[in-house]
Amino acid sequence: MKAGANQPRAERGLPTGGTSTVAFIGLGNMGGPMAANLVAAGVQVFGHDVMPQALDTARGHGVEVVTDPLEAVAEADVVLTMLPSGQHVISAYQDSPGLLSAAKPDTIFLDCSTINISEAQQAAQLAQQAGFRAADAPVSGGVVGAEAGTLAFMVGAAGEVFEQIHPLLDIMGARVVHCGGNGLGQAAKICNNMILGVSQIAVGEAFVLGEKLGLTHQALYDVVSKASGQCWALTTNCPVPGPVPNSPANRDYRPGFAGALMAKDLNLATNALDEQGVEAQLGRLATAIYSEFAAGDGAGQDFSAIINTIRDDSSHQGAPA
């Protein structure tokens, strides 16, 4: 739980009204701990999930669980969704009876799921057409960040909506960036993850090449981590055991950030590349590589395990005579 979460709200500059009651829809790996941090900070949270186990865990963290999501929404200043996909979000909003049918005036619909930019804009439009306000605020930082309250939020919303939700996001995160209007939070998220996917593959390729050339992992790490090849995929998520003791490679590639989620985010990026007509060879190649990775064992492994695919694919190839 986030340090200081038990301090009184006013002392920490948190809202005492307006955004103080949250309907939290989707209490999974991310939503569960995010909701728990809100409760610990004194926010009243009504939670709903379709999985009874998620409800039980949330109840244990002080979330007021409800089996009918409309009950939660009727009480809320903010309806926060943390769901697997854009289709889940849109159908939760509008399928009869959808969340939009039960909210009170002035409610803010805040979607923190990672979804297509066009779906985020559609969700916002649905909320606005029904008379409400809307924001997309996808996150990075994974389950560890959700538990610690150190997520990074990338927010797409009108300025006044951003100001209203900022204190809530501060409870669940360590960094909150206003990226622009509706959909631009998702835009920032998928641009970041396209860089990450490409760079994790590049780091894996460099280590496999280094192995073949006779470099130790540590020597390559010591050089690159202080040179122009330095990046998060190396210095935090180092794909070989040893140089960065906390990286997933040291625990048999347990995530971390699972290959299935990287494949999902890269496919969202590719959808945006197609929609915008951007020529991005590396982004598209990374999408293909991670889609194949996630279709097999990679789905449940940390995405840095892509190095093992690169090494396996290189094992039958010797140096030219």
What are 254's two structure tokens?
Answer: 């347990």
Question: Residue number with the shortest CB distance to ligand NAD?
Answer: 28
Kindly state whether residue 113 participates in binding ligand NAD, applying the rule CB under 6 A.
Answer: yes
189 catalytic per annotation: yes
What are 206's two structure tokens?
Answer: 């460099």
Kindly state whether residue 257 participates in binding ligand NAD, applying the rule CB under 6 A.
Answer: yes
Of the candidate spans 82-90, 122-130, 179-187, 303-311, the one that interacts with ligand NAD by CB under 6 A turns out to be 82-90
Least distance from C-beta 232 to ligand NAD, angstroms?
Answer: 14
Kindly state whether residue 139 participates in binding ligand NAD, applying the rule CB under 6 A.
Answer: yes
Nearer CB in complex with ligand NAD: 77/111: 111
Kindly state whether residue 51 participates in binding ligand NAD, applying the rule CB under 6 A.
Answer: yes
Sign, CA dihedral 167-168-169-174, equals positive
SS (H, E, C) the chain: CCCCCCCCCHHHCCCCCCCCEEEEECCCCCHHHHHHHHHHCCCEEEEECCCHHHHHHHHHCCCEECCCHHHHHHCCCEEEECCCCHHHHHHHHHCCCCHHHCCCCCCEEEECCCCCHHHHHHHHHHHHHCCCEEEECCEECHHHHHHHCCEEEEEECCHHHHHHHHHHHHHHEEEEEEEECCCHHHHHHHHHHHHHHHHHHHHHHHHHHHHHHCCCHHHHHHHHCCCCCCCHHHHCCCCCCCCCCCCHHHHCCCCCCEHHHHHHHHHHHHHHHHHHCCCCHHHHHHHHHHHHHHHCHHHHCEHHHHHHHHHHHHCCCCCCC
Spatial CB neighbours of 317, under 8 Å, sequence gap ≥ 6: none
Least distance from C-beta 30 to ligand NAD, angstroms?
Answer: 3
Residue from 14, 22, 30, 196 touching ligand NAD (CB under 6 A): that is: 30
CB 160 within 8 A of CB 138: no
Binding mask 141-180 for ligand NAD (x = CB under 6 A): -xx-------------------------------------
Residue from 58, 83, 240, 263 touching ligand NAD (CB under 6 A): that is: 83
Nearer CB in complex with ligand NAD: 93/207: 93
**Residues in binding contact with ligand NAD, number by CB under 6 A:** 26
Neighbours of 129 (CB within 10 A): 10
Least distance from C-beta 34 to ligand NAD, angstroms?
Answer: 9
Which residue in 2, 189, 226, 264 is the catalytic one? Answer: 189
Of the candidate spans 77-85, 232-240, 242-250, 284-292, the one that interacts with ligand NAD by CB under 6 A turns out to be 77-85
Kindly state whether residue 123 participates in binding ligand NAD, applying the rule CB under 6 A.
Answer: no
Sign, CA dihedral 27-28-31-32, equals positive
Kindly state whether residue 73 participates in binding ligand NAD, applying the rule CB under 6 A.
Answer: no
Kindly state whether residue 295 participates in binding ligand NAD, applying the rule CB under 6 A.
Answer: no
Binding mask 31-50 for ligand NAD (x = CB under 6 A): x----------------xxx
Nearer CB in complex with ligand NAD: 98/204: 98
Nearer CB in complex with ligand NAD: 208/269: 269
Least distance from C-beta 321 to ligand NAD, angstroms?
Answer: 46
Active-site residue numbers? 189
Contact residues: ligand NAD, CB under 6 A: 25-31, 48-51, 54, 82-84, 88, 92, 113-114, 139-140, 142-143, 257, 261, 264
